[in-house]
Structure 1
């Protein structure tokens, strides 16, 4: 595990709010993540967690509140150079890489295009080789187009493309939700290894408390746009203090899991 520092935080969010008319998708939330840290943001669909991801990445603009990276405010960019600089701060990996990968480009071509955009004139073949090794993607898979790859391979390509610009923060928005359990484990182990080898900070967005144990230090649990519980990952996974967090944890399939009981608990929550 990389050494974690807290002054200043890699990511610091204070009073972040995003309203759409009278509806608050995110309502006055505050959290911070240290350099090399990993925070899970957990909640069911509609809890506001994906809106947080969009605000952090700059895909959306907050109604109020502040967001800083390494002590510097994250403000709207002016011009192409500033947009690219912001993109190099924060990268995002989505649930469905088919929606974000160009279907015409192989993994190798996608990485070459990304590097050309951000670092024109660099030794791209060497860097591409490093990235492919980092995400454990074979040469054969690297030369295939997205439609010819498995779900796990496509997600490795998406991760490699995000890492290409050496971001400070990697946002993972339900990045393993569409994968089989065995492939989920492979991608989570890969992410844990990448984090251990670098000072990369993770913001892991998920509806499933069961997938965050291996890749996060802390968790915040969101419901209706607000934080209802926060703390160390191990503490919340073993002793959730709020009924909503208890419900989320009870909904994770395991030995003796009762789906009907989980549904009834959801109705009563």
Structure 2
């Protein structure tokens, strides 16, 4: 049985009267891939931001390798070590990249902060090669790259700190279908090579089917269904999961019936 790399225990987060995350718990195995799926407002992105540390839970715990990320750390070295544990790749990498900084310089800055004694030139070359980029892209500014190339840069920068978990928040949603497939294949290869754990946040059941071992379905801040991805998608038990599957366009698809079902409690 695989060891647990990431565990969420009883997460709660409210904004006024709105319960964005309501008693959410899950585990991610080392080298595993877990999807969290749901529509906008389901709580999946808030959950991801709590995992990374961009949001604080009102209650509950996040553990990495059994260590509570809520525990106080002392000193710069411990803070950096905590930051390295979990990294996030966002939907729009352009917003997370400095438009004035070349790809190579951005990677160099990250490595200098976390691994000051490392051979940065060699490591930059390794990282770029790992995501299918080269010297030409290293000298480029973000605006000179395609959307798929920028997402590869974002992945390389996240991998630079050697995280235990990579959180991907709608990381291929803004890309063309053909580029999506390339990035998903790249991520599958990286997981096989490194043993990193993935937490995929997405509304796209095609992504879930392609790249996750297990899936959680969230609605109104709560988990309504969970299990192995193939099983949940083949034999959904909860009406909301069935609704999401029925929402995928196909021959004869009628969005009017979906909209009416979505308004139901």
By the TM > 0.5 criterion, same fold?
yes
Q: Contact 2:14/2:58 (CA < 8 Å) preserved in 1?
A: yes
- Cα root mean square deviation, aligned: 1.6
Which residues in structure 2 correspond to 1:92-241 (within 5 Å)? 92-241=88-237
Aligned equivalents of 2:75, 2:250: Cα separation in 1: 50
Alignment of 1:244 onto 2:240? yes
Q: Contact 1:176/1:187 (CA < 8 Å) preserved in 2?
A: yes
SS of alignment partner, residue 252 of structure 1: coil
1:193-225 CA-partner distances (Å, limit 9, x unpaired): 100112100000001111112211000000010
Gaps of 5+ in 1: none
Question: 2:61: which partner in 1?
Answer: 66
Provide the TM-score with structure 1 as the length reference: 0.93
Aligned equivalents of 2:192, 2:247: Cα separation in 1: 30
1:79-103 CA-partner distances (Å, limit 9, x unpaired): 4333311111000000000110111
Q: Contact 1:208/1:248 (CA < 8 Å) preserved in 2?
A: no
Aligned equivalents of 1:183, 1:254: Cα separation in 2: 21
Say how many residue pairs are matched. 264
**Residues 1:79 and 1:51: Cα distance change in structure 2 (over 3 Å):** farther
Aligned equivalents of 1:87, 1:11: Cα separation in 2: 14
> Following TM superposition, by how much is the alpha carbon of 1:244 offset from its aligned partner in structure 2, in angstroms?
0.9
Question: 1:10: which partner in 2?
Answer: 5
SS of alignment partner, residue 215 of structure 2: strand
Aligned equivalents of 2:252, 2:219: Cα separation in 1: 27
Provide the TM-score with structure 2 as the length reference: 0.94
> Following TM superposition, by how much is the alpha carbon of 1:40 offset from its aligned partner in structure 2, in angstroms?
0.1
Aligned equivalents of 2:86, 2:141: Cα separation in 1: 25
Pick aligned residue for 1:26 from 21, 26, 35: 21
> Following TM superposition, by how much is the alpha carbon of 1:255 offset from its aligned partner in structure 2, in angstroms?
4.6
Aligned equivalents of 2:250, 2:131: Cα separation in 1: 29
Gaps of 5+ in 2: none
Aligned equivalents of 1:264, 1:19: Cα separation in 2: 27
Aligned equivalents of 1:254, 1:92: Cα separation in 2: 32
> Following TM superposition, by how much is the alpha carbon of 1:116 offset from its aligned partner in structure 2, in angstroms?
0.6
